[in-house]
A and B are shown apart, each in its own frame.
Chain A
Amino acid sequence: MSFSPDPLPTLLASWRIQPPPDPGFRRGVRERLGAGVAGATWAAFARRRAPLVAGAFAVALIGGALGGYDHARARVDEDRARLASAYVAGLDARRMVPAR
């Protein structure tokens, strides 16, 4: 009785996989890793979109400051006009009526 040698080890030894190269493989891995981290913390989320987030904060800061300044100056002007009118009116005999 003779045994024929098992062809499997030979076959496995000669087996080579040659998949087509994927140029986006590394980037895809990095993105998936990054997405996982970004989903975990806001800091990582913001770091990944640093220019956008920084821009939004800058616009908010400048816009808020300008709005506050304008609003304050408008109120100062309004107070000034009211006080000036009251001051002049308080000395205008033509506009007085007898106190009842």
Chain B
Amino acid sequence: MTRNLILTLLLVAAVAAAAFGVAFVASGDRTLRVAARQGDALEWLRVEFSLDADRFAAVRRLHDEFSIECSVHCAAIIAARERSAPAAEIAALEDHCVGAMTAHFRQVAARMEAAQGERYLALVLPRIRGHTHQGAPSVRLAP
């Protein structure tokens, strides 16, 4: 009796664990996981917003171009900070940076299908403020 009861409980637990594992694997997004593990945000864009080869190439081109522009903004802001420029000047540079980022994100969204573009903007625009990172512009995540 006790042996059978314990066996039953073990079998029930095994069924629960198996169901958990199958549902976890089936419901997950393996490509997204790989992109997150590799820190590849552009690959994430491709997968997340269902970009075909042409759209992805256009988005990548925009991204590369903006990375150069971003480096220029970055250098200007750092130079202003290092020479202790007036706060208004730094604020103006930062506002310019925000405007450029917003315009860039809208350009990227325009390369996507309409619904995906809206979803993209809803995801990235609220994140423009409040992040920190170091170094040159990159789409690689910190390890």
Contacts and interface: CB of A to CB of B under 8 A. Distances in A.
The answer to whether A binds B is: yes
Interface residues of B, number: 63
Interface string A85-97: 1111111111111
B86 interface: no
Given A83-B41, A92-B131, A95-B131, A42 B7 contact: yes
Question: Chain A at the B interface: mostly helix, strand, loop or mixed?
Answer: helix
A89 B133 contact: yes
A78 to B, nearest CB: 8
A57 B42 CA distance: 44
B17 to A, nearest CB: 6
Interface in A42-100: 42, 45-46, 53, 56-57, 59-69, 71-73, 75-76, 79-80, 82-99
B83 interface: no
A58 B47 CA distance: 36
A21 interface: no
Contacts of A42: 4, 7-8
A86 B67 CA distance: 14
B123 A94 contact: no
Interface string B70-110: 11011011100000000000000010011001001000000
Contact of A86 (B12, B21, B41): B41
Contact of B66 (A65, A82, A91): A91
Interface in B114-143: 123-124, 127-128, 131-142
A97 B73 CA distance: 12
B35 interface: yes
A60 B16 contact: yes
B64 to A, nearest CB: 11
A32 B39 CA distance: 66
A67 B27 contact: no
A90 B132 contact: no
Q: Which one of B29, B36, B71 has the highest number of Cβ atoms from chain A below 10 Å of its Cβ?
A: B36
B94 to A, nearest CB: 5
B19 interface: yes
5 contacts: A68-B24, A69-B27, A87-B41, A87-B42, A90-B133
Given A57-B15, A67-B20, 7 more contacts: A72-B24, A83-B32, A87-B124, A93-B73, A93-B76, A96-B137, A97-B78
